[in-house]
Structure 1
Amino acid sequence: MKRQTAADFPQDLLNLYDDYAHGRVDRRGFLERASRFAAGGLTAAALLDLLSPNYALAEQVKKDDPRVQSAFADYDSPQGAGKMRGLLAKPAKATDKLPGVLVIHENRGLNPYIEDVTRRVALAGYLAFGPDALFPLGGYPGNDDKGREMQAKRDPAQMTEDFVAAAKWLATHTDCNGQVGVVGFCYGGGMANTLAVRLPDVIRAAVPFYGRQPAAEDVPKIKASLLIHNAEHDAKVNEGWPAYEAALKKAGVRYTAHMYPGANHGFHNDTTPRYDEAAAKLAWDRTIAFFDEILKAG
C-alpha cells in the first residue's frame, strides 16, 4: 500500500487534524467537521485513522540495534513529580564521556517515535535521554489519543520542573562530559525554548522543532545557540515567530532559523501523512551538524 503524504489531503483537513492533535477540537468535533471531506467511500472516521500515527513506519533504529545501548533510567524531580523516568541511549562502543542531548516529546508522552529519535541521537554519537512526562500517571499508554488526554491532566508548571530536572540530571551523568543540548518537537519544541531560558548555564545548544516561543522579556536570559525549525503551514506556531526573532536579535542571541516551504506542523514525525521526507531529512542533518559544532567542539 502506498504511503500517504500531506499532498493526498486538502490543507483544510490537515489544519483540522492539527487542531484535533492539539486538543483544540475534540474527536466528535473533528468527525463532524471532517465529514465534508469524506468521499470515495471514505468516512470521517476513516480519514482520522489515515491521519493518525502508524508507529510501524517510525522505526529507523530498532530497539535491539547492536550499535546502540539503551535502557530506561529513573531520575529525581524534587520540584516536579518526584520520581521520573526516561529512555537513556548511547553508542554501544562508547568508551569516553559524551555530550548529552535531551530529547523532548510532543503532547502525548514518550511514544515509539520519540523513543526512536532518542536512539537516532545516540547513534550520532551522543548520550541521549528522552524523559516521559506521563511516567507519574503510569507512562505512555500505547495510544496517542489516550496519551494526549493524560498529558493534559498534568500540571504544566510541574512538567516544566520535570524537564528542568532531567537536563540537570543528564549534565551530571557519569557518562556525560557536561556539554548538553536539547531537541524537542511540538510541545517539546516549546520546552526546548523554555529550558534555554531556565538553564542558561546548562543548555549550550537548543533545537526547537515547531515549538512555542518564550516571552520576549525572557529571551535575554538565553546563552545557548539556537537552531529553529518551523513549517510554512503552521499558523499557530508561526504567529509568534516575528516577535521571537525580534527579541533574539535585540538580545544578541546566536540563532539560525529555517522555514520549510510546503511543510506542516509535525513534518519530522515519520508516523503520519504530515511527514515531509525531504524537509525532515534536511532539518535532521542540520540538527546533528549543529550539535556537532556546538557540543563536540567544546
Structure 2
Amino acid sequence: MPTQSLQIPTADGVADAFAAFPADGERHPGVLMYPDGLGIRPVLREMAEELAGRGYYVLVPNPFYRHGPAPVLDLPEHIGEAARPAIFARLMPMIEAHTTDRILPDADAYVRFLTTRPEVGPGPVAVTGYCIGGLLATHTAAAHPGRVAALAAFHAPVGAAGPDSLHRLTARVHFGHAETDLTPEALAELNRTLDAAGLEYTSEIYPGTVHGFTMSDTDAFDPAALRHHWDSLLALLDRSLT
C-alpha cells in the first residue's frame, strides 16, 4: 500500500502528515483521519493502510504540529498503564492548548488539502477520529457541511463539541463510545441532541470496552470492538462516499 509523507500549509505554519492510498493510479474518495491524543505512530499507519486498502485516500495529519513533527512524544512500543501517567503529564498541556481557535483553521487547511489532491475524487469527503481526534473530526464536519458527507468518532468526547456544533452537522454519523466513557443517561442525552439535529446516525456504546479500545498498542485494546469499528466505519463510508 503506497504511503507518502506530506506537509500541509496552515495559518500557523506547516503540519506534517502522511497519506495512504491504493496503488492503482485511480482517484478515490478522500478520508481525513485524526489520530488519538498519542499521535501518529505505527498503529495509526496500519489503520490508515487498512482503510486505504478498501479503496480510500486516507490523510492523517499531526494535530500537534505546533509542538514539533510526529512523533511529538517518545512512546514505548506498547503503551501500558504504568507508562501512561508520565506520557499524559506531557500530553495534556498540548491537548488543553488545542482549542477551537486552533482546531477550526487547521480543519480548513486539512479539508482544503485533501480535496485538492490529484489522487482524490471530486465528490464529498469523510472525517474520522479516535479519542481527542474524534472531537476534532466532529468540529471539522460541523464547519464543512457542504464538503463532509460522513463523520465517525470512536471513544471520543464528542459531546464536548457542544449542541451548536452538533446541530450544524449534515453528515451521516457513527459514534462508537467506550462503556467507561459515558453512562447510558449521557448517551441518551447525546442522542436526543442528534435527533433534534435531524441527522442520520448511529451512536452506541461498544459493550465491555474501555477508553482507547481501537488502539492495539495499548492495554485498552479490544479486538472484537476493533472489528465492530471497522464494520461500522466501512458501512458508513460505503453509504456516503461511493
Normalising by structure 2, we get a TM-score of 0.85
In 2: Cα distance, 1:74 partner to 1:142 partner: 19
Q: Which moved more, 1:207-216 or 1:260-269?
A: 207-216
Does 2:197 correspond to 1:251?
A: yes
How far has the Cα of 1:159 moved from its partner?
Answer: 3.7
User: Runs of at least 4 residues of structure 1 off by over 4 A?
Assistant: 237-240
Residue by residue over 1:100-122, the C-alpha shift from the partner in whole angstroms, topping out at 9 and shown as x without a partner, is 01110112322222222221211
Matched with 2:57 is 127
**Which of 167, 170, 177 is equivalent to 1:223?**
170
Does 2:229 correspond to 1:283?
A: yes
Matches within 5 A, 1:127-146: 127-139=57-69, 140-141=71-72, 143-144=74-75, 145=87
Matched with 1:74 is 7
In 1: Cα distance, 2:52 partner to 2:222 partner: 23
Q: Which moved more, 1:276-285 or 1:238-247?
A: 238-247
**Cα pair 2:155 2:213 within 8 Å, conserved:** no
Q: Which moved more, 1:132-141 or 1:98-107?
A: 132-141
**Cα pair 2:20 2:58 within 8 Å, conserved:** yes
Percent of aligned pairs sharing the same letter: 25
Asked which structure has the greater CA Rg, the reply is 1
Q: Which amino acid aligns with 2:116?
A: T
In 2: Cα distance, 1:191 partner to 1:240 partner: 20
**Which of 105, 108, 124 is equivalent to 1:161?**
105
In 2: Cα distance, 1:150 partner to 1:247 partner: 30
Matches within 5 A, 1:192-203: 192-203=137-148
Q: Alpha carbons of 1:256 and 1:155: their partners in 2 closer, same or farther (altered >3 Å)?
A: closer
Structure 1: gaps (5+ residues): 1-67
Paired positions, count? 225
In 2: Cα distance, 1:215 partner to 1:131 partner: 24
**Cα pair 1:104 1:131 within 8 Å, conserved:** yes
Residue by residue over 1:82-134, the C-alpha shift from the partner in whole angstroms, topping out at 9 and shown as x without a partner, is 211201110112x3211001110112322222222221211111000000023
How far has the Cα of 1:238 moved from its partner?
Answer: 6.9
**Cα pair 2:126 2:151 within 8 Å, conserved:** yes
Q: Secondary structure at the match of 1:176?
A: coil
Matched with 2:187 is 241
Q: Alpha carbons of 1:149 and 1:255: their partners in 2 closer, same or farther (altered >3 Å)?
A: closer
Q: Secondary structure at the match of 2:52?
A: helix
Q: Alpha carbons of 1:198 and 1:241: their partners in 2 closer, same or farther (altered >3 Å)?
A: farther
Q: Which amino acid aligns with 1:228?
A: F
Q: Which amino acid aligns with 1:209?
A: F
**Cα pair 2:103 2:136 within 8 Å, conserved:** no
RMSD: 2.1
**Cα pair 1:265 1:274 within 8 Å, conserved:** yes
In 2: Cα distance, 1:172 partner to 1:202 partner: 12
Q: Secondary structure at the match of 2:208?
A: strand
Q: Alpha carbons of 1:148 and 1:113: their partners in 2 closer, same or farther (altered >3 Å)?
A: farther
